[in-house]
């Protein structure tokens, strides 16, 4: 795992810019990409069902397939090391037993607690409507996406979050069941070639209410 210091934490947060042009000759090694994804999945997850799923589009062939689906974001697609497609799995509870067994094996949860929680969680997830599950997985996957953006900066890369894409076609285009996997976001990632865009934010006092 990457070591973070207090000195670089502020830069991770406040130094981030929306980068849209990357060094097209640089490719992120698979081992490092998997490390970044692993670090990103320490993000919070409702009852730890971890519904996020990642598809890393990096080859010229697969980027060409993605290009017509991303509207006005072709520069990121053309130059980035990879386009990370983040989906939410509407049937994530199918891995619930595996996740909780792993927690027991790691000594983080007694077996009886695992059994009690799964007995309540799995039926609850099974009875949720598709719209309700859609909300659950999008919230969790978005948390992982934001964490990936910060993790990528710690590894020396920049990102750009993309919400403008053909959501009804994305899963099927890359071999996923569109009834099960909900597209949440696309993140371009790579070595910045241009500085990117700075932006402004409303003052905290303007958007906060204390009660």
Calculate mean pLDDT across residues 11-40.
88
In 3-state terms the chain splits into helix, strand, coil percentages (rounded to 5) of 50, 15, 35
Query: Closest by alpha carbon to 24, among 83, 92, 107?
Result: 83
Q: Whole-number mean pLDDT of the chain?
A: 93
CB neighbours of residue 116 within 10 Å: 11
Neighbours of 181 (CB within 10 A): 23
* pLDDT value of position 23: 96
- Look at residue 49 and give its three-state secondary structure: coil
Rounded to whole angstroms, the Cα distance separating 87 from 184 reads: 5
Whole-prediction pTM value? Answer: 0.91
What pLDDT is attached to residue 20?
Answer: 87
Distance CA 94, CA 49 (A): 9
> Tokens in use for 176?
């996923």
pLDDT grade for 8, boundaries at 50, 70 and 90: low
Task: Flag whether pLDDT at 182 surpasses 60.
Answer: yes
CA torsion through residues 38, 42, 44, 46, sign: positive
Q: If you average pLDDT over residues 172-181, what whole number do you get?
A: 98
Helix (H) or strand (E) holding 67: none
pLDDT of residue 15: 63
Domains of the chain plus CATH, in order, are 9-88+131-191 (3.40.109.10)
Rg (Cα) of the chain, in Å, rounded? Answer: 19
Q: Please tell me the distance from the alpha carbon of residue 4 to that of residue 39, in angstroms, as a whole number.
A: 12
Whether the predicted pLDDT of 18 surpasses 80: no
Distance CA 118, CA 29 (A): 37
pLDDT greater than 80 at residue 196: no
């Amino acid at each position: 795992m990457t070591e973070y210091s207090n000195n670089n934490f502020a830069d991770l947060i406040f130094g981030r810019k929306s980068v849209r042009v990357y060094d097209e000759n640089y490719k992120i090694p698979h081992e490092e990409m998997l490390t970044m994804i692993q670090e990103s999945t320490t993000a919070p997850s409702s009852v730890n069902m971890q519904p996020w799923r990642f598809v890393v589009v990096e080859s010229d062939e697969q980027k060409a397939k993605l290009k017509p689906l991303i509207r006005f974001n072709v520069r990121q697609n053309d130059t980035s090391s990879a386009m990370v497609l983040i989906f939410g799995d509407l049937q994530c509870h199918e891995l619930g037993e595996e996740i909780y067994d792993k927690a027991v094996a790691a000594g983080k949860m007694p077996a009886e607690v695992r059994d009690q929680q799964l007995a309540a969680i799995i039926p609850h997830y099974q009875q949720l409507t598709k719209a309700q599950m859609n909300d659950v997985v999008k919230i969790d996957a978005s948390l992982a996406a934001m964490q990936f953006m910060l993790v990528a900066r710690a590894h020396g890369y920049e990102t750009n979050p993309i919400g403008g894409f053909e959501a009804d076609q994305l899963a099927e285009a890359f071999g996923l069941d569109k009834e099960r996997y909900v597209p949440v976001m696309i993140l371009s990632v790579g070595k910045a070639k241009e500085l990117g865009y700075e932006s402004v934010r409303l003052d905290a006092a303007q958007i906060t209410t204390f009660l």
